[in-house]
Structure formats: structure tokens, C-alpha cells
Amino acid sequence: MSSEQSMVPKLFQNLIPHTSSLTSLFYIRPVYTSLQLAKKYVQYYRRAANGKGHGMHSPFVFDFILHVLNNKNGYHPPAGLEALRKQLLHDRSFITLNDLGAGSRVTNQSQKTIRRIARTAVKPQKWSLFLYRLVRHYKPQTIIELGTSLGVSTAYMAAANGAATIITIEGSEQIQQRAAASFDALNMGFLKSWCGDFDALLPQALAQLHTIDLAYIDGNHRRQPTLNYFNQLLQKRNAHSIFVFDDIHWSAEMEEAWRLIQQHPDVRYTIDLFFMGLVFFRNDFKTKQHFAIRF
């Protein structure tokens, strides 16, 4: 294996041989192929800071690396959350999709099995645990999620702070119903699980909240909708708000949206983890800075 190949996560290594067949299966939107994404990851890896914090001069970012990226022993989410994932991965029942976002990288079929959605659309355990640690460490009291999917990441965030007000919105009715059933089974009835178009429901969610401490945007991966959500969320942000954008390197559109978000005058720090991007607004950050960190 070449040195460049060793930088690429197994996800990409497994997909690269099948890239030619993938290009004939999708695309509702011009997302990057797996090979293109792998090349971008290599570029990111070369410029990104060490994921252990070595040489990091920002105390805030060093604390983030120590307590969120690498605190694998300090926080232990309930075992039932991974039991939910395993259950979904073995569920062969079909549901009908009405995807309101940017479509799927793999297929645009209107029906899929639960297990296929769990394999291709639900964040892997690594990222679910990351969101859990993020919530445990910063303790946001109000959380909005755009893109519930099957609810695994939502459940991780809810388990990290059961006292938080959480509104999660999903565009596909049958997926939202399945997620809501999982929340009930996990005794997470305090979650507000909504179904509908983000454009219609996000203003309603914002009207119910005085401020937004954490926003996780994981749906409709297109430039203008992403910027629209960002600008709406800004109306309720505070100095300690954290906005998390999923799949910031999903496509040229998403990369452009990410660059424009970074340039916004209210944004002080951003952290690029390749698969996710984090935005911070803290007033004590006197100089705008952008970090790329290996994770």
C-alpha cells in the first residue's frame, strides 16, 4: 500500500474499486465520486493539524482536542444506543422514502430496507460518539438537528444531556416515524421529533427557542439551502453557540457553502474534521482562525 493510500480511511479504500459503477447509479446532484473524495481526504490529511494536539497554540482548540476528539475513556454512553444501531443493521423491512435533500450517493430508489439506510445514511459509531462527547463537554441546553435519519446520532446527543431541549427534523415521513419509535423505546420522549420540509419547519422551531446552543445540520447538502439554514440559525445564536455542518466536502457546492460560512463576520473559529465542520462564535476569540484537525 502506498503512503497516500495509508492516509485514506477504510471507507474510501473499500469504495474506490467500485467508483466506475457508482457513477452510473447516482446522481441527483453533482456530488464527488468516492475516488474524488479520497483524493480530497489525502489533501486534507497533509495540511491538517495532528489529532493529538501536538503544537496546537490555541487553548480552546487544544481543550477541544483533549476532551472531545480524544476523551474516549471519560464519557461512556448507554449501551442501548449501539444495541439500537445493531437492531437497525439487521432490519430487512422496507420503507418508502421521500428525500427532500440532495439525494443519495449510492442510489435514488424510492424504497430501501432499514438495514441499507443504517449502513449508508447513519453516521458510524465514531461520529456518534464524537457528537456524544461534544454535548457532554459543552452542555448545550438547546439543540436543533436538521436531518434525523433513523435517529441514532440524535439519541447519542440526547443521552449526553437529557435536560436539553432538542428539536430534530426529518424530511421523510416513514424514516421519521421509525426514529420516533426508537426514541420512545429509549425513553427519550422529551425529544421533539418533527417531520416535514426544513424550510417550513426551521422557522417554527426557532420561534420556540430563545437561543440555539447547538445546531447539527445534516440534510439537504446543497449550497444555497445550507447557507439559508446558517443565516436563519444566526438569528438565535449566542456567544457560546456551536454549529456543526455534516459532509462539508460532499460536493463542490458544499465546499463553497463552507467557505462562505467561514468568511461570515460573526464566525470566529472553525474546525474542519473533513466529514464535519464546526463553527464557533466566542467573543474572546479576537482573531478569526480556521483549523483543520485529523480525526
Mean pLDDT over the full length of the chain: 87
CA dist list (Å): 32 to 154, 254, 267: 26, 10, 27
pLDDT, mean of residues 61-84: 91
207-227 mean pLDDT? 95
Q: Is the pTM of this model over 0.95?
A: no
- Crossing angle for the helix pair 79-89 and 125-138, nearest 10 degrees? 150
pLDDT digits (tens, 9 = 90+) for 34-66: 899 999 999 999 999 988 888 888 999 999 999
Q: For the segment 139-159, what is each residue's pLDDT rounded down to a tens digit? A: 999 999 999 999 999 999 999
Please name the residue ranges forming H helices in the chain: 3-7, 10-15, 19-22, 34-47, 59-64, 79-89, 114-120, 125-138, 152-160, 173-185, 198-208, 223-234, 252-263
What domains can be seen in the chain, in order of their start residue?
3-47 (no CATH), 59-292 (3.40.50.150)
What are 246-294's pLDDT values in tens digits? 999 999 999 999 999 999 999 999 999 999 999 999 989 989 999 999 9
